[in-house]
Amino acid sequence: MIEGFFALIFGLISGVMGLFWLMISAVSLALLWAVILPFALLWGWMLARILSRAGYSPWWALIGFTPLLPLAVWIFAFSSWPAAARTVVLMPPERRY
């Protein structure tokens, strides 16, 4: 009979502790997303601006959220940029001293 009483007490304690840890993890998850989401949006916005200035579609910024980002950066860095082909480089006049 005493074993049933202790089982009931320990069951209640473990249930309360389980709810406590569930609440703590939910709050932690909410705080984590409250911090991660603004930085993720900032990251995507910066990538979209860089890509649009280089002459690519800003939608290519979505690749920045994949684990293949280093490979994508290398491909992007060594490919030909459409905006560079449209740019006219003016040479400054030679200086004679």
| Alpha carbon distance 40, 43 (integer Å) | 5
pTM of the model: 0.50
Label residue 63 by pLDDT band (50, 70, 90): confident
The proportion of the chain whose per-residue pLDDT surpasses 70, expressed as a percent, equals 65
Task: Kindly state the tokens that stand for 67.
Answer: 């684990």
Query: From the centroid of its chain, how far is CA 61?
Result: 11
| Alpha carbon distance 78, 60 (integer Å) | 16
Mean pLDDT of 64-82: 73
